[in-house]
């Protein structure tokens, strides 16, 4: 959502504005002097340039002012705005492109400690295992550790997976609880049906995507992100789930939020950033997808005391909002970010009904710090998909955060240092680490430490295959890139680490560019136009001390830019760690013929990608679409860079030249129910009602939607169908008296010394000659001469008019008036104000209407001489102040009575009582349409469609010949508008008087259809059954229609050709005898 700076109101959401096309295209001084071509150029031709473009906007939902903006059509950036009538500023600089992290980065690494520091101490509470199997008991959660983790062992939860009941604890995810119970397989793959196991511990999960069955069905949720609750029922999936068929009873909503600083991610970098800003008074939002802050520290078990300290600090600050369980999933223009907060999912059946289950946060941030961390990358080798293959840091998370052993006997396969910490933590927790297989010939200090812990380290080796069906049983290892020297290890767990991918999704969505980082072997944020910084491992920084320092510096800079003073937060002391550069491996050399998976969720293998490049694909965007790699609901979080690496190898190019596929919102799937929020059911779209609505409801009206209005359509009585009800209502209006709620007509008060001049320019006919006290019908056209709206103009005073519009066009006509006044005719002293709802209007129609009105308005002289057609009077009706207009949309004697809506019900009831002796009948829009159509009165938008001139409707009389100019005039001299074969509005009478022509029916010349293409002469625009005519009839737009009156044409209806006769559109009372009663 762009933020557009209104020159008057300041920055507002784009949704408040209307676009008005190219600016500085003035209305020609003398249109009559222009050739057709010059006039057409003004009407239809606009520039369409790339780069800065001056255009008009209206702050339609705000101050209603038109203004000009220069927008870069390539970046969508609004470069400047200026008021209507002002000159376009000369040069406008676009926003600078800023680096994801300033080059002057000077954050000091505060931690000390030399290279000789001890390996990470593991986790508080880590203790020796009770038994070889570890855990609370052999039946219940045999893979659960007795002490570790952040789960609440005093809050056991019961859940069901694939029909079996299990136990877990508060603080578990579904995945960790399954692992605690020894369940690792969580589904089968979508194409090949291969068993797949829990692969990760977070949103990047490609395998363990499950169906939730209770309390409410929800498909395709990663078990790694589902917080366990009591009564959870889930099922494994064969790659795809099913949507619920019953309506979701939960509430969903959305909330707007504004802040000086939004920090995305509450890991070490994000917490440091928020801590630096917390006490400054700046408004800070910290959003994180987990139930508690800490990020990667929850998985490593390090510095959790500091996490707690920062959490308390943030909690205490009134201007800091910490959003837990909240995933920022979209990054849009002008630092507008969308996040989804999962508010009650984790409560299961205990979720309160009046609290939304999920909430969309629409956050507008002055500055953003992305501390989104990194995802571990997998490696491609034969049979790398068996249940038991798991990302190394995820296994570490299960041990440290959830107190769960993901297996008993593990092989670790790595290309970098990070997996060693995982191996050591798992080993300390009781997992038998059979071997660490490192592709690097010299892994350095870490290998030494592992060996000291009694773990065999195979340097310069790689995993080349696996065994096992529903769970891994063995791992084959060989020297890297060599066909001999195989060894096999029994293992139920294979930890894999191919390096780290910064989570750059949001940065990329923001318009940021990524660059390939050689050292990291992945893509990192580079530059962006938006006010965003990236901190920590999202930037490719994996060293914790630097991550913390970078976060604190980014948070400080962000609020300093907003004029706040940051403070240096206390950061934990982090021992420096040994570092050996990673080796960049995507595909392990050697091909055994077994499948080597790149995208686990889409079952895409190296061979699939090879087929794509073999077919000529040269871009990852193409291979993605050819193979579907990266298109599953994990959106390739673990496989994207891998796929780029594989394709680069296949093409023999460097991965840096290839790049990644484009990141688009949402970062994680968001349900439609959540996105819909409150905008569903009755609240999906506003329902506009008149002051008389309740009466219509009570009297059985059925309603027609006209724009957002609910208008009474017809009032069926005693089981009448629509046809019977409408015939009865029409008969009452033609023979007795009937009344209708016409309050929805648009009404605009036009005031000022130049009001008459203004209306003369706007309407095709002359309004300045209208006398005070009188009313004139008028039509408005666009500059191209096509009908836009019609209505009546009432002259209230010399300098004041009341203009009515069609119901659906009220806002558009007011906008139209303001556009011309503000941009073309600022010299006119006129003001236009909507008064649509200031007045309630009742149409009183029929030969007996004069008697009803006369009875209620004793001070009003109602005779035709005293109160002639197209006059208006102020009086009291039923004791209510009223403006009564003698206008008719039916051809009958009729009045429109305007009163305050506060008194409208009293007026209506008085009319109902006073009319009772004459059988007064309420009628709806359908009857109104029949009555007007019998008289040939067109309805704008039904009988016209933007290609119809007043002359086409046979209304040349409404187009002034005297006025020097008005909007549309020049177009009536265009060759196109004087063509003889233009479509004219005519009446149609089916030769069989009971035959009904559906609206939209085409008309052809011959009674036998020729071979296609059949020449079409026009189409039916309105069609009714008439009580007054005793037959069906229609209005139609037909080529040269007025010259065809009396001709027979044919209307294909179903498989019949219905003969019809072309007639004048005025079929009832053509001499107008009924108008005066």
Partner 1 sequence: MADTALSVPLRSPLTDAADRLAAATRASGGAVRLAELRFLTQLNVRLDAKGAAADAVGLALDLQLPLEPNTVVRAGELTALWLGPDEWLLVGPPGSRSDLESRIRTAVEDEPVSVTDVSAQRTALLVAGPRARDLLAHGCSLDLHPRAFGAGRCAQTTLARAQIVLVARDEPRAGFWVLVRSSFAGYLTDWLLDAAAEWGLDR
> Whose structure tokens read 């508080």?
124
Separation of alpha carbons 921 and 442, rounded Å: 96
CB of 445 closer than 8 Å to CB of 458: no
Q: Which CB sits closer to partner 1, 647 or 691?
A: 691
- Please return the burial class of 90, using the count of CB atoms within 10 Å of its CB with bins 0-12, 13-18 and 19+: exposed
Other C-beta atoms lying within 10 Å of the C-beta of residue 840: 24
Q: How far is the CB of 43 from partner 1 (least distance, A)?
A: 30
Q: How far is the CB of 55 from partner 1 (least distance, A)?
A: 21
Tell me the three-class secondary structure of 786-833, residue by residue.
Answer: CEEEEEEEEEEECCEEEEEECHHHHHHHHHHHHHHHHHHCCCCCCEEE
In the complex with partner 1, the residue whose CB is nearer, 520 or 884, is 884
- CA angle at 677 for the pair 673 and 679, rounded to the nearest 5°: 110
Strand-pairing partners, residue 776, are 793
On the 0-12 / 13-18 / 19+ scale of CB atoms within 10 A, 609 is: buried
Cβ 872 to partner 1 shortest distance, Å:
15
Question: At closest approach, how far in Å is the CB of 258 from partner 1?
Answer: 4
Nearest distance, CB of residue 23 and partner 1, angstroms: 19
Identify whether the C-beta of residue 229 lies closer than 8 Å to the C-beta of residue 334. Answer: no
Nearer to partner 1, 12 or 471 (CB): 12
Tokens of 760: 């003369």
Phi, psi of 586 (to 5 degrees): -110, -60
* CA separation for the pair 665, 338 (Å, rounded): 9
Q: How far is the CB of 225 from partner 1 (least distance, A)?
A: 25
Q: Which residue lies nearer to partner 1 by CB, 900 or 942?
A: 900
CB of 790 to partner 1, least distance (A): 22
Give percent helix, percent strand, percent coil of the chain, each to the nearest 5.
Answer: 25, 30, 45
Give the nearer residue to partner 1 in terms of CB position, either 568 or 838. Answer: 838
Q: Rounded to whole angstroms, what are the CA distances from 652 to 614, 649, 821? A: 12, 5, 64
Shortest distance, position 65 Cβ to partner 1, whole Å: 6
Residue 247's φ and ψ, nearest 5 degrees, are -65, 145
CB of 9 to partner 1, least distance (A): 6
CB-wise, 9 or 861, nearer to partner 1?
Answer: 9
CB of 216 to partner 1, least distance (A): 18
Facing residues of 777 across strands?
A: 792
For residue 1058, give the H/E element and its range.
strand 1056-1063
Q: Nearer to partner 1 by C-beta: 14 or 945?
A: 14
- Looking only at the bridges linking them, the beta strands covering 746-751 and 831-834 are antiparallel
Q: Which is nearer to partner 1, 702 or 906 (CB)?
A: 906
Q: Please identify, using beta-carbon distances, which residue of 39 and 839 lies nearer to partner 1.
A: 839
- Shortest CA distance to 884 belongs to which of 837, 833, 929, 850? 850
487: helix, strand or coil: strand
Site of interaction with partner 1 (CB under 8 A): 8-10, 12-13, 15-16, 61-65, 251, 253-258, 283, 352-356, 362, 364, 678-679, 682-683, 685-691, 693-694, 709, 744, 749, 751-753, 829, 831, 833-839, 876, 878-881, 899-906
State the minimum distance, in angstroms, from the CB of residue 331 to partner 1. 17
Of the pair 10, 993, the CB lying nearest partner 1 is at 10
CB of 460 to partner 1, least distance (A): 58
**Cβ distance to partner 1 smaller for residue 573 or 699:** 699
Nearer to partner 1 (CB atom), residue 64 or residue 782: 64
How far apart, in whole angstroms, are the C-alpha atoms of residue 180 and residue 162? 16
Q: What is the DSSP string of 248-272?
A: P-S-EEEEEEEEEEEEE--SHHHHH
Nearest to partner 1 of 438, 815 (CB atom)? 815
CA distances from 765 to 382, 718, 748, 778, 870 (A): 82, 46, 18, 6, 16
Distances in whole angstroms, Cα of residue 566 to Cα of each of 368, 370, 557, 736 = 15, 18, 8, 80
Shortest Å distance, C-beta 330 to partner 1: 16
């Amino acid at each position: 959502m762009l933020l557009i700076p209104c020159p008057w109101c300041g920055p507002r959401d784009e949704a408040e504005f209307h676009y008005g096309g190219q600016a500085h295209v003035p209305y020609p001084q003398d249109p009559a002097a222009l050739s057709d071509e010059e006039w057409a150029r003004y009407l239809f031709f606009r520039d369409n340039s790339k780069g800065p473009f001056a255009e008009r906007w209206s702050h339609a939902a705000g101050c209603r002012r038109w203004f000009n903006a220069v927008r870069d059509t390539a970046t969508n950036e609004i470069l400047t705005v200026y008021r209507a009538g002002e000159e376009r500023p000369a040069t406008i600089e676009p926003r600078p492109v800023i680096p994801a992290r300033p080059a002057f980065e000077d954050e000091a690494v505060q931690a000390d400690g030399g290279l000789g520091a001890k390996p990470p101490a593991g986790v508080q509470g880590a203790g020796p295992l009770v038994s070889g199997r570890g855990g609370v008991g052999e039946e219940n959660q045999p893979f659960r550790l007795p002490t570790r983790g952040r789960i609440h062992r005093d809050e056991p939860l019961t859940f069901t997976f694939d029909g079996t009941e299990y136990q877990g604890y508060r603080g578990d995810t579904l995945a960790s609880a399954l692992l605690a119970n020894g369940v690792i397989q969580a589904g089968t793959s979508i194409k090949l049906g291969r068993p797949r196991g829990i692969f990760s511990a977070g949103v990047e999960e490609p395998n363990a995507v499950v169906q939730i069955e209770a309390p409410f069905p929800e498909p395709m949720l990663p078990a790694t992100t589902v917080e366990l609750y009591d009564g959870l029922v889930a099922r494994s999936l064969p790659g795809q789930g099913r949507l619920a068929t019953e309506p979701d009873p939960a509430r969903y909503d959305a909330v707007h939020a504004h802040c000086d600083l939004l920090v995305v991610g509450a890991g070490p970098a994000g917490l440091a950033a928020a801590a630096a800003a917390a006490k400054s008074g700046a408004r800070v939002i910290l959003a994180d997808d987990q139930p508690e802050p800490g990020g990667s520290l929850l998985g490593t078990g390090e510095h959790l005391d500091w996490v707690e300290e920062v959490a308390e600090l943030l909690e205490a600050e009134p201007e800091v909002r910490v959003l837990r369980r909240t995933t920022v999933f979209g990054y849009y223009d002008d630092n507008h970010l969308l996040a989804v907060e999962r508010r009650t999912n984790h409560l299961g059946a205990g979720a309160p009904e009046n609290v939304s289950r999920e909430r969309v946060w629409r956050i507008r941030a002055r500055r953003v710090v992305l501390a989104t961390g990194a995802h571990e990358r997998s490696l491609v080798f034969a049979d790398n998909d068996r249940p038991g293959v798991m990302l190394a840091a995820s296994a570490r998370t299960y041990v440290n955060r959830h107190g769960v052993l993901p297996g008993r006997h593990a092989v670790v396969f790595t290309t970098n240092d990070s997996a060693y910490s995982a191996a050591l933590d798992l080993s300390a927790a009781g997992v038998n680490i059979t071997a660490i297989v490192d592709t690097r010939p010299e892994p350095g200090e870490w290998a030494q430490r592992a060996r000291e812990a009694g773990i065999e380290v195979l340097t310069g080796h790689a995993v080349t295959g696996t065994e096992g069906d529903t769970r891994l049983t063995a791992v084959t290892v060989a020297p890297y890139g060599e066909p001999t020297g195989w060894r096999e290890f029994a293992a139920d767990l294979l930890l894999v680490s191919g390096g780290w991918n910064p989570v750059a999704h949001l940065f990329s969505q923001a318009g940021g560019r990524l660059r390939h980082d050689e050292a990291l072997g992945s893509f990192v944020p580079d530059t962006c136009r938006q006010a965003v910084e990236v901190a920590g491992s999202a930037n490719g920084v994996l060293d914790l001390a630097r991550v913390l320092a970078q976060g604190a510096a980014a948070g400080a800079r962000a609020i300093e830019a907003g004029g706040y003073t940051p403070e240096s937060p206390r950061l934990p002391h982090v021992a420096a760690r040994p570092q050996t550069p990673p080796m960049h491996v995507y595909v392990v050399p050697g091909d055994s013929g077994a499948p080597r998976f790149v995208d686990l969720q889409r079952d895409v293998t190296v061979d699939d990608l090879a087929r794509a490049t073999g077919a000529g694909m040269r871009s990852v965007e193409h291979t993605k679409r050819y193979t579907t790699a990266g298109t599953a609901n994990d959106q390739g979080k673990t496989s994207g860079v891998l796929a780029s690496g594989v394709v680069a190898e296949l093409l023999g190019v460097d991965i840096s030249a290839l790049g990644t596929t484009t990141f688009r919102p949402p970062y994680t799937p968001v349900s439609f129910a959540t996105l819909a929020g409150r905008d569903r059911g009755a609240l999906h779209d506003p329902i506009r009602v008149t002051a008389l609505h309740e009466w219509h409801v009570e009297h059985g009206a059925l309603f027609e939607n006209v724009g957002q209005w609910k208008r009474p359509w017809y009032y069926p009585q005693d089981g009448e169908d629509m046809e019977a009800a409408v015939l009865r209502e029409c008969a009452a209006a033609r023979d007795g008296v009937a009344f209708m709620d016409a309050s929805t007509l648009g009404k605009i008060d036009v005031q000022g010394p130049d009001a008459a001049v203004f209306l003369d320019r706007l309407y095709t006919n002359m309004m300045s000659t209208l006398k005070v006290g009188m009313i004139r019908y008028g039509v408005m056209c666009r500059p191209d001469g096509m009908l836009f709206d019609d209505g009546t103009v009432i002259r209230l005073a010399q300098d004041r008019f009341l203009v009515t519009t069609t119901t659906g066009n009220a806002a558009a006509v007011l906008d139209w008036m303001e556009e011309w006044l503000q941009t073309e005719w600022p010299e006119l002293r006129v003001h236009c104000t909507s008064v649509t709802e200031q007045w309630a209007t009742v149409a009183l129609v029929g030969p007996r209407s004069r008697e009803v009105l006369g009875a209620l308005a004793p001070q009003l002289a109602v005779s035709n001489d005293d109160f002639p057609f197209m006059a208006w009077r102020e009086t009291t009706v039923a004791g209510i102040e009223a403006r009564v207009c003698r206008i008719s949309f039916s051809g009958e004697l009729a009045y429109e009575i305007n009163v305050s809506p506060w008194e409208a019900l009293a007026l209506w009831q008085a009319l109902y009582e006073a009319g009772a002796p004459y059988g007064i009948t309420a009628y709806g829009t359908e009857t109104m349409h029949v009555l007007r159509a019998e008289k040939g009165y067109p309805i704008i938008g039904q009988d016209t469609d933007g290609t119809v001139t007043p002359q086409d409707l046979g209304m040349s009389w409404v187009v002034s010949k005297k006025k020097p100019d008005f909007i549309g005039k020049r177009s009536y001299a265009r060759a196109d508008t004087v063509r003889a074969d233009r479509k004219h509005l005519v009446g149609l009478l089916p030769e069989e008087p009971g035959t009904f022509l559906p609206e939209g029916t085409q008309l052809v010349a011959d009674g036998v259809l020729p071979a296609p293409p059949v020449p079409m002469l026009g189409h039916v625009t309105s069609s009714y059954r008439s009580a007054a005519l005793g037959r069906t009839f229609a209005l139609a737009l037909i080529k040269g229609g007025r010259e065809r009156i009396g001709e027979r044409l044919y209307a294909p209806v179903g498989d019949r050709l219905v003969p019809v006769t072309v007639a004048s559109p005025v079929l009832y009372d053509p001499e107008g005898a009924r108008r005066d009663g």
